[in-house]
């Protein structure tokens, strides 16, 4: 259930970046791919830690894999908060009367 929630959260972010709705097929596919990449890396790191690997050696490579998996295609690089489009506040219009 946690990964399902991650996928839904990613869909919202990706939809905003692509200017689409979160339930559109393209958005859902990008979100599913990104969530799966994160899940696989999470399992890889977890297994390594259980086997006694040095966490400092797992981090850099794993973070690079995550960045590469999420960065590709239409999703692109990170967005800085000051560059992200603002979400409209639906209740704001009612409060300004």
DSSP conformation letters of 24-89: SHHHHHHHHHHHHHHHHHHHHHHHHHHTT--HHHHHHHHHHHHHHHHHTTTT-S---TTTSPPPP-
pLDDT in tens, 18-35: 899 999 999 999 899 888
The answer on pLDDT for 87 being more than 90 is no
Asked if 15 and 22 touch (Cβ cutoff 8 Å), the reply is: yes
Answering whether pTM is above 0.95, one says: no
Least confident of 17-26, 72-81, 82-91: 82-91
For residues 41-52, average pLDDT: 87
Asked if 22 and 10 touch (Cβ cutoff 8 Å), the reply is: no
């Amino acid at each position: 259930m946690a990964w399902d929630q991650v996928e839904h959260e990613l869909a919202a972010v990706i939809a905003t970046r692509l200017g689409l709705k979160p339930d559109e097929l393209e958005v859902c596919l990008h979100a599913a791919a990104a969530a799966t990449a994160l899940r696989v890396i999470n399992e890889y790191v977890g297994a390594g830690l259980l086997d006694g690997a040095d966490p400092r050696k797992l981090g850099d490579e794993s973070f690079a894999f995550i960045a590469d998996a999420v960065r590709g295609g239409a999703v692109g690089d990170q967005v800085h908060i000051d560059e992200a489009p603002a979400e409209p506040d639906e209740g704001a219009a009612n409060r300004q009367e």
